[in-house]
């Protein structure tokens, strides 16, 4: 489960020194919840377990401490806290951050979430003054800040990995510039293309993925800190200062929206879903291409597995897992959309479910990108097998029809002639270019020696010499353009 924010308030759950209020007379014992002042009985054990989110939101500990440091710096600057109290709290927070980086902090469900765990640890270290940290702040704007900081960092990492994978694809394209393969529609051989051209199609998809992640990150780059539980605070805070300290580009314009908005998380999930869809399509092709029937590529042993029963097997498990995990990311997107669709303003506890799916999707996408960045450079391309498949699949049939049209044969008639020639080649068990001139002329006497140049696969591919086409010069230009874009 993900981090609770609840209907927390800033100051009415604390005594005059800022320490947590005690439980009421009905308490079941244990540490007093920081929000427990108005309750007369303890929380049911099952509710505690369902309510606790520390197992999920503890990964935002660094962001929570950074947000708290910015908040207490602002409180001291504006005079809401004394300089002495501000410095004591800041020193305690820096100590916690040092211990977090060293792996020395331990969290517990007793304090529900990362916010209260860290505040408890702070107060244990520096005393009751630690309780003043939460002045003019709610867990509602606190967690919204943590999440935006967290996804900003993660999307930067993902965009860098997308960039790396694009570079891998460009390198593969350049290394295999003269490899010709069949292009497909309906998974049936259609027209020949360069393998490089095929790889660059995925490079283009990833370019758009990087753009979507960047757009989503830009809209997440807004500070909600200072919005309180839903209606801000009566203290004279400086929201611009905390935003600047945390590196946010802007301050949220509406406190209700700030604490209840999860658009940015949904948008990032949508970008991740599209990214994973692209990786799933690449996975599907590699799975097909690495089969014995195709044999276009050979996947590295380190990214495949065997069978416990059949010793000859080499299974493309890594590709299959990426293809399968795509559904998990889709589920996270639909899940958060479903959580948010019926919620009134502003914060509702349903929104605790915003993190687990988001974090899982971020992890899944990152692992998938890292996997492909490592696997593709070690994948062997079987150029001869690809070329043979392009020839035997009659991928040059359209060009033969075009050749006849240029010779004065009406297109519909040329289409019919080529269909008969394909049937003849199938009957004799050869490709179109392997038919003799006499065999070709037996179908149509207008065919002459020039037909063999028209049927050559290099000629066929290079004839498509338009922007975005598979001709050698166009693919080399696309590779150069892709490299230039990646350098930017």
Active site residues: 186, 307
Helix (H, G, I), strand (E, B) or coil at 4: coil
Q: Which two tokens stand for residue 476?
A: 């080399």
Helix (H, G, I), strand (E, B) or coil at 8: coil
| Torsional sign, CA 375, 377, 378, 379 | positive
How many angstroms separate the CA atoms of 203 and 242, rounded? 39
- As given in the structure block, the two tokens for residue 138 are 């709610």
Cβ atoms 370, 322 nearer than 8 A: no
CA distance 353 to 335: 9
In 3D, which of 162, 374, 369, 375 has the Cα closest to residue 280?
369
**Residue 343: which region, alpha, beta or left (left: phi > 0; alpha: psi -120 to 50)?**
beta
For residue 245, give the nearest of 62, 60, 71 by alpha carbon: 71
Question: What is the H or E stretch that residue 304 is in?
Answer: none
Peptide bond before 131: cis, by omega within 30 degrees of 0? no
Please state, in angstroms and as integers, the Cα–Cα distance from residue 252 to each residue in 16, 115, 157, following that order.
30, 21, 25
- For 124-161, letters b (16+ CB in 10 Å) and e give eebeebbbbbbbbbbbbbbbbbbbbbbbbebbeebbeb
Q: Which residues contact 13 (CB under 8 A, 6 or more apart)?
A: 20, 21, 34, 35, 36, 37
CA angle 317, 319, 320 (to 5 degrees): 60
DSSP-derived letter for residue 234 is: S
Q: Which two tokens stand for residue 439?
A: 């065999």
């Amino acid at each position: 489960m993900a981090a609770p924010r609840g209907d927390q308030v800033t100051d009415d759950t604390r005594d005059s020194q800022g320490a947590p209020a005690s439980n009421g007379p009905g308490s079941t014992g244990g540490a007093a919840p920081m929000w427990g002042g108005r309750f007369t009985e303890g929380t049911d054990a099952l509710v505690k377990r369902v309510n606790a989110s520390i197992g999920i939101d503890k990964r935002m500990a660094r962001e929570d401490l950074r947000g708290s440091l910015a908040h207490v710096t602002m409180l001291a600057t504006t005079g809401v806290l004394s300089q002495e109290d501000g410095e004591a709290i800041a020193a305690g927070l820096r100590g916690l951050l040092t211990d977090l980086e060293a792996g020395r902090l331990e969290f517990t469900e007793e304090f529900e979430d990362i916010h209260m765990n860290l505040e408890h640890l702070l107060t244990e270290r520096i005393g009751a003054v630690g309780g003043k940290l939460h002045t003019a702040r709610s867990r509602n704007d606190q967690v919204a800040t943590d999440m935006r900081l967290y996804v900003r960092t993660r999307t930067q990492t993902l965009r860098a990995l997308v960039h790396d994978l694009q570079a891998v694809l460009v390198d593969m394209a350049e290394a295999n510039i003269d490899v010709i393969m069949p292009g497909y529609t309906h998974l049936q051989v259609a027209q020949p293309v360069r393998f490089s051209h095929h790889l660059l199609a995925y490079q283009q998809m990833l370019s758009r993925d990087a753009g979507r992640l960047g757009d989503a990150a830009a809209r997440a780059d807004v500070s909600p800190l200072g919005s309180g539980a839903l209606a801000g605070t009566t203290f004279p805070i400086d929201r611009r200062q905390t935003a600047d300290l945390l590196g946010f580009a802007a301050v949220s314009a509406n406190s209700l929206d700030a604490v209840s908005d999860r658009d940015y998380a949904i948008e990032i999930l949508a970008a991740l879903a599209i990214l994973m869809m692209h990786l799933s399509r690449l996975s599907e092709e590699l799975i097909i291409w690495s089969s014995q029937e195709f044999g276009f590529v050979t996947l590295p042993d380190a990214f495949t597995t065997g069978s416990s029963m059949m010793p000859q097997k080499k299974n493309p498990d890594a590709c299959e897992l990426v293809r399968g995990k795509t559904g998990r990311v889709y589920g996270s997107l639909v899940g958060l959309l479903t959580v948010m669709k019926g919620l009134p303003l502003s914060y509702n506890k349903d929104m605790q479910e915003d993190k687990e799916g988001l974090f899982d999707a971020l992890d899944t996408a990152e692992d998938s990108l890292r996997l492909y960045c490592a696997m593709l450079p070690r994948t062997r391309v079987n150029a001869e097998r690809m070329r043979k498949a392009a020839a035997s699949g009659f991928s040059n049939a359209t060009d033969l029809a075009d050749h006849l049209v240029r010779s004065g044969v009406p297109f519909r008639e040329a289409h019919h002639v080529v269909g008969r020639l394909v049937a003849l080649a199938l009957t004799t068990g050869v490709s179109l270019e392997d038919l003799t001139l006499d065999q070709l002329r037996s179908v149509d006497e207008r065919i002459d020696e020039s037909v063999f140049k028209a049927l050559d696969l290099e000629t066929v591919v290079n004839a498509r010499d338009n922007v975005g086409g598979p001709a050698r010069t166009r693919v080399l230009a696309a590779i150069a353009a892709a490299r230039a874009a990646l350098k930017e």
